[in-house]
Structure 1
Amino acid sequence: MLRQETIQIIQSTVPVLEVHGTDITKRFYQMMFANHPELLNIFNHANQKKGRQQTALANAVYAAAKHIDQLETILPVVKEIGHKHRSLGIKPEHYPIVGENLLAAIKDVLGEAATDEIIQAWAEAYGVIADAFISVEADLYEKAEQQEGGWEGFRPFRVEKKVTESDVITSFYLVPQDGNKIAKFEPGQYVSVRMEIPGEKNVHIRQYSLSDAPGKPYYRISVKREDGQANQPEGKVSTYLHKQVEEGDVLWLSAPAGVFTLDLNESRPMVFLSGGVGLTPMVSMLHTLLEKNPSHQATFIHSAHNGNVHAMKDKIEELAQKHEQVSVFWAYTEPTVQDRERKAYHKEGYIDLGWLKEVLATTNARFYLCGPVPFMSAMKGLLLQCGVAESDIHWEFFGPAATL
């Protein structure tokens, strides 16, 4: 328990964190990687370059400070981050390193404003917060290892099949190299893939949603090749997977993790709303839902640039034909001539309020969102305008948590 004096000091820093939080976390990562370059084998370098990791940490520190007197309110966030930490291999011995460099970054950025009293209060608070993470993650590590088919750390899987799903998305069917059982997972969860790429100094770890229903003798990940744009480089891991990894090669996987999961106890209709490669966990969810309850009402709405990059379209349409209570709708922002000739989509352009109201059979449903952050932010806003209760909207971030 924190002393009341410590709580008051931490809360007094909330306005400062609101202004300088990202500056502090940027400096934190610079200092930590300079002091402990081995941690570059754990953290996603691309998210560092884009500033996503720094922003996510700044938001987490701000939330911890704001709710320091009621830390139980941020336990869901602790659990969500804990799943990611477990899949990456974050261990208790990493927390003192983080604490030391975070406090040093606060002092460095705020200068004289970061008095000894403030630094001491934050040291005390960080100890409590770190203990919460370590406790949650210890339980996750134990469950991941001791469940049937489970394992510790990373396990070798062989690429049994490599399937092109679209111009930019390829699926990899992965079976354990040792031939033993694999751990169960909940639809919506992901695995971390650890890769050593020739010519790269550091190991790279990326997280990919499992895109098939549980209960198969394999895991399937469906990876979008990030070709890069003017303001950002191509994705090293996704490009390597697409261009270099072939059937028979070995990938190292963590046990499945994640809190964005399908609620199979929900009797109301389900709505899956995705953009781009965000459909991957939704495909797993829809398949599982219909395997468990073939008569469950569901709506699958997906936004893509066009049919060339729209993955798994035929498979989803086959499910809808087989289950008449399932509706599917496609929105293409840049349809090709062939898309128009085949009438392959239901809306041209971005999803808007009027069209969404037309295709939704009901707002009394459970909604799942996944895709780029701007897409999910826009969709959440539209759903709220439709009258959907915020508690019925659930989403998954690919990468560090952001805000909608």
Structure 2
Amino acid sequence: MLSEQSTPVVRATLPAVGAAIDEIAAVFYRKLFAAHPELLRDLFNRGNQANGQQRQALAGSIAAFAGTLLDHPDTRPDAMLARIAHKHASLGVTADQYKIVNEHLLAAIADVLGEAVTPQVADAWDEVYWLMANALIAVETRLYAEQGTPEGGTWRPMTVVARHEETPDAVSLALRPTDGTAAPAFRPGQYVSVQVELPDGARQIRQYSLSCAPGRPEWRITVKRVRAGDGPAGEVSSWLHERVRVGAVLTVSAPFGDLTLPAGDGPLLLASAGIGGTPMLAMLHHLVAGGSSRPVVVVHADRTPADHAHRDELRALVDELPQAALHLWYEEPGHPAPVPVPAPPAPSARVTVSAGRVDVSALPLPSDLTTYLCGPLPFMRTLRGALLDRGLSPQAIHYEVFGPDLWLGQS
């Protein structure tokens, strides 16, 4: 809870801070990386720094948190905090790094707003920062304890025991601890971070959903190669596609992520696009292994059938669930594949295949549905809006984003 003396100060200055938050974030990162270049080299995603997405994510989280302190003083945005904390734990973030961020963030606010930042204003925003930081540190401490690792000690070596080309741009890698033991348990929907050393010596980190059944002796991740287009090619995805073969050893985090499948028998909607289908595979594997009879509607969108990673596996999982239905949308259903791929099976009574973009307006969806979304932000925003129009509760719609969470404060 924000103190009585700071509340009116934050309320009065939030519009100015909010209006300048993108500039504040840019100055903050410039100061941070000048003082600690190792953070850009080994912790922050260089691609997201280059395209400005990291700055936008920081701006969104700070503005959302400050707004909640003012509008709902007796509550905390726990969903937002949990998502950030899981991401931080998967990166090995430690409590002492929050002090570094605090120093450069407050200096950036002072630089951008100038004389408007009186000692009283600086103290009030320092309080906002530490309310958020201490809440995150508490959650991250608990997450590390649950994994049985010291703070920041989330990494372990894992051997690639299998590799499979799912599509021309997606490869799956099966991973097992190098000591020969079984991979630790995880909850369906969680992800791991993979840290790789690039040719210039940088140790870059990316997150990948676990796309296999929980409880197996190995994990599986599916990596989509990010090719150059509107931005540069993906550094880590390209490295994994080009260099990693069976027998390679990767540095991998413990499983994290709060988009996990709850227990129960209520109806589910699992909606994904592109490589966002991977956490849904783990959820479906879990339901099949448990002999679930709960109603499940699976929606997936892709550019073409040839681009749809794990297409046949998804179909087989739905076939094993007695009350599941699969609805596929392909923007270019007749697009020729660059390499030969098996023809998709003919649709059954529980499978529909449509051309174009996802349209859930005509799908039979019960009002007590719990929904999980994963995919590009435009897809999730559009689908969420359509579900709200159908009368679904906002609290029943959950989502996962990889990279900076640009949806914070907008969902």
Pick the TM interval, shorter chain: over 0.9
Residue 232 of structure 1 and its aligned partner are, at CA, apart by: 0.2
Match of 2:227 in 1: 227
Given that 2:69 and 2:76 are in contact with CA atoms closer than 8 Å, whether structure 1 keeps it comes out as: no
Give 3-state SS (helix, strand or coil) of 2:361's partner.
helix
Given that 2:193 and 2:206 are in contact with CA atoms closer than 8 Å, whether structure 1 keeps it comes out as: yes
- The answer as to 2:397 corresponding to 1:388 is no
Residue 146 of structure 1 and its aligned partner are, at CA, apart by: 5.8
User: Any residues of structure 2 matched to 1:63-78 within 5 Å, and which?
Assistant: 63-68=64-69, 70=73, 72-78=75-81
User: Any residues of structure 2 matched to 1:5-404 within 5 Å, and which?
Assistant: 5-40=5-40, 41-68=42-69, 70=73, 72-145=75-148, 152-198=153-199, 200-229=200-229, 231-265=230-264, 267-336=265-334, 346-352=353-359, 356-403=360-407, 404=411
Given that 1:272 and 1:369 are in contact with CA atoms closer than 8 Å, whether structure 2 keeps it comes out as: yes
Deviations 1:118-161 (A, max 9, x none): 112222332333222222211111111269xxx93310000000
Given that 1:13 and 1:65 are in contact with CA atoms closer than 8 Å, whether structure 2 keeps it comes out as: no
Given that 1:299 and 1:326 are in contact with CA atoms closer than 8 Å, whether structure 2 keeps it comes out as: yes
The one-letter code sitting in structure 1 at the alignment partner of 2:313 is: K
Give 3-state SS (helix, strand or coil) of 2:317's partner.
helix
Give 3-state SS (helix, strand or coil) of 2:59's partner.
helix
Identity of aligned residues (%): 38
Give 3-state SS (helix, strand or coil) of 2:76's partner.
helix
Given that 1:158 and 1:176 are in contact with CA atoms closer than 8 Å, whether structure 2 keeps it comes out as: yes
Residue 2 of structure 1 and its aligned partner are, at CA, apart by: 4.7
C-alpha distance in structure 2 between counterparts of 1:19 and 1:115, whole Å = 18
Residue 243 of structure 1 and its aligned partner are, at CA, apart by: 1.2
C-alpha distance in structure 2 between counterparts of 1:396 and 1:255, whole Å = 18
C-alpha distance in structure 2 between counterparts of 1:306 and 1:397, whole Å = 22
Given that 1:64 and 1:71 are in contact with CA atoms closer than 8 Å, whether structure 2 keeps it comes out as: no
Deviations 1:55-114 (A, max 9, x none): 111111112222335274223322221111111011111111100000011011112222
Give 3-state SS (helix, strand or coil) of 1:380's partner.
helix
Residue 337 of structure 1 and its aligned partner are, at CA, apart by: 5.1
Deviations 1:267-295 (A, max 9, x none): 22211111110000011111112222332
Given that 2:361 and 2:386 are in contact with CA atoms closer than 8 Å, whether structure 1 keeps it comes out as: no
Q: Closer, same or farther in 2 for the Cα pair 1:357/1:36, shift >3 Å?
A: same
Moved over 4 A (4+): 341-345
Given that 2:163 and 2:174 are in contact with CA atoms closer than 8 Å, whether structure 1 keeps it comes out as: yes
Q: Closer, same or farther in 2 for the Cα pair 1:129/1:319, shift >3 Å?
A: closer
Q: Closer, same or farther in 2 for the Cα pair 1:183/1:360, shift >3 Å?
A: same
Give 3-state SS (helix, strand or coil) of 1:184's partner.
coil
Q: Closer, same or farther in 2 for the Cα pair 1:238/1:289, shift >3 Å?
A: same
Q: Closer, same or farther in 2 for the Cα pair 1:136/1:322, shift >3 Å?
A: closer
TM-score, normalised via structure 1 length: 0.92
Give 3-state SS (helix, strand or coil) of 1:358's partner.
coil
C-alpha distance in structure 2 between counterparts of 1:129 and 1:170, whole Å = 38
Give 3-state SS (helix, strand or coil) of 1:165's partner.
strand
Given that 1:190 and 1:257 are in contact with CA atoms closer than 8 Å, whether structure 2 keeps it comes out as: yes
Give 3-state SS (helix, strand or coil) of 1:308's partner.
helix
TM-score, normalised via structure 2 length: 0.91
